Amino acid sequence: MQVNLKSLVSMTEANQNFSKVTKLVDENGVAVILKNNVPRYVVIEYSRLEENENADDQMVEDIAEQILTKHIKAFEELAK
């Protein structure tokens, strides 16, 4: 995951000014909250969560199809 440097906010700042975090999400699609200068939390819009889940499901299906295609003879033999 690539993160825009404008999307970073410290834990202290997030605690004191959460509206800034939500504004970053609205502007950049994501906000990354740092704890001790290390990325710790990611805040995204709820609607994007479903998009990511659907993308993950499709990725799993694509990988499964690749494995089945590559090893079809082995699977056919196991099915006997």
CATH number for the domain spanning 29: value is 3.40.1620
Quick check: pTM over 0.75? Answer: no
Count CB neighbours of 42 within 10 A: 13
Q: Are residues 55 and 25 in the same domain?
A: no
Residue ranges making up the domain that contains 57:
47-80
Q: Are residues 55 and 74 in the same domain?
A: yes
State whether 32 and 52 are in the same domain: no
Instruction: Per-residue pLDDT tens, the chain, 80 aa: give them.
Output: 566 788 899 999 999 999 999 999 999 888 999 999 899 999 988 887 766 665 566 666 777 778 878 878 877 777 77
What is the spatial distance between Cα 40 and Cα 32, in angstroms, rounded to a whole number? 7
∠ CA 66-47-53, nearest 5°, is 20
